[in-house]
Amino acid sequence: MAACIGASRTVITEPNPLSCDPNRSQIEDQSYKYVNFGRPNCPDLVSYVPFCPDRSKTTDEVVGDKDEVDLWLKMKEEAKCDVEQEPVLSNYYYNSILSHDSLESALANHLSMKLSNYSLPSGTLFDIFQGLVVEDYEIMRAVKDDLRAVKERDPACASYVHCFLNFKGFLACQAHRVAHKLWSQGRKVLALLIQNRVSEVFAVDIHPGARIGRGILFDHATGVVIGETAVIGNNVSILHNVTLGGTGKACGDRHPKIGDGVLIGAGTCILGNIKIGDGAKIGAGSVVLKDVPPRTTAAGNPARLVGGKDNPIKLDKIPGLTMDHTSHITEWSDYVI
């Protein structure tokens, strides 16, 4: 069983360590929490240093690359600010964020609480998630890139903490990263179990065999289905009700390959072992059955290239980053409502 780093998984039924007096009234206790966690602008309240390559140490114990810990410190500041605005959430934020010494510990705890049920205890899941995210630096690198991607591209994302706690697309993607690691280790039964729980809890069904890059945004995410042999590059943005599936008549390598910087609109079906080139854009509601060249736009059912097959219009920006769904609309539509 993997050893835990940082703060261990906390249980809400335990005495609240934010209270300085167990006999304090509830109103007084809330005021105490408000004072202690409502000052995000005071840097002397936290003293953390980054991770070094020795991933077994906490941010308090080692010195490393400053960029590695800035995001976690920002999340803690945001959590304190949220508690200042809503003191009633102090227990939730303490258990989810403020009691942990690392992003790894907080992520393992949050996913385990979300995905557990009566027959699959949160403690068991915590040990699984914690062990894998601590030992695999690439998972945590991708987690941080995903957090930044959501914050930068989704105007509905108020903060990193908001994404971490509430965005099921982000959480489903991180659970998949753990399931994919288990799948690659030959622990396929456990990987498939995690896939099933993610599908039930988040309504996102990603086969653990699928390979997903970094800087991924699953916007809303409800109804996303990704098949076993699908591959998704870096900095890809995918909206809800998107299917990366097979044609139903092929075995083996049978799912789409999505290049870097691709934007896939809501309700899109991309079927078969086809390639969507780097920087391409797929319009909402499209059905794509053939390769899409890099930096082009495909839309419709069946999908056609904007500008025509022989001379498609080339995109000058990366749609997976700009999230622009409507450029060149006049080129493929005879009318605009």
DSSP 292: B
pLDDT in tens, 103-127: 999 999 999 999 999 999 999 999 9
CB atoms within 10 A of CB 252: 8
Residue 8: band (very low, low, confident or very high) from pLDDT cuts 50, 70, 90: very low
**So what's the pLDDT on residue 249?**
83
The residue to which tokens 């993997």 are assigned: 2
Q: Can you tell me the distance from the alpha carbon of 110 to that of 78, in angstroms, rounded to the nearest whole number?
A: 17
Q: Is pLDDT of 1 > 60?
A: no
Residue 212 pLDDT class (50, 70, 90 cuts): very high
- Check residue 14 and give its pLDDT: 40
Return the closest-CA partner of residue 180 out of 232, 109, 222: 232
**What's the rounded mean pLDDT across residues 202-223?**
97
* Strands lying side by side in the sheet with 304-305: 217-218, 237-238, 263-264, 281-282, 297-299, 304-305
> What pLDDT, on a 0 to 100 scale, did the predictor assign at position 13?
42
Whether the CB-CB separation of 312 and 295 falls below 8 Å is answered with: no
The arithmetic mean of pLDDT across residues 240-256, rounded, is 94
Fold of 74-204: serine acetyltransferase, domain 1 (1.10.3130)
Query: What is the pTM assigned to this prediction?
Result: 0.78
pLDDT score of 206 more than 80: yes
Q: Which residue has the tokens 């390959």?
A: 257
Residue 54, helix vs strand vs coil: coil
What pLDDT is stored for residue 253 in this prediction?
Answer: 95
Look over the chain and give the mean of its residue pLDDT values, rounded to a whole number.
Answer: 83
The H or E element containing residue 212 is strand 211-212
Q: Which tens digit of pLDDT belongs to each residue from 88-98?
A: 999 999 999 99
pLDDT in tens, 266-293: 999 999 999 999 999 999 999 999 999 9
pLDDT at 327 (0 to 100): 77
Query: What is the spatial distance between Cα 117 and Cα 103, in angstroms, rounded to a whole number?
Result: 23
Using the predicted structure, report yes or no on whether residue 38 has a pLDDT greater than 60. Answer: no
What confidence score (pLDDT) does residue 330 get?
A: 58
Q: Would you call 288 helix, strand, or coil by DSSP?
A: strand
pLDDT for 153 equals 96
Give the full edge-to-edge strand order of the sheet including 257-258. Answer: 211-212, 231-232, 257-258, 275-276
Residue 18: predicted pLDDT? 40
**pLDDT for the residue 78:** 96
At residue 274, φ and ψ (nearest 5 deg) are: -115, 165
Spatial contact of 304 and 321, defined as CB atoms under 8 Å apart: no
Each domain of the chain, given as residue ranges in start order, spans 74-204, 227-336
Fold designation for 227-336: UDP N-Acetylglucosamine Acyltransferase; domain 1 (2.160.10)
For 254-258, what is the mean pLDDT? Answer: 97
Tokens of residue 243, six digits: 């299917």
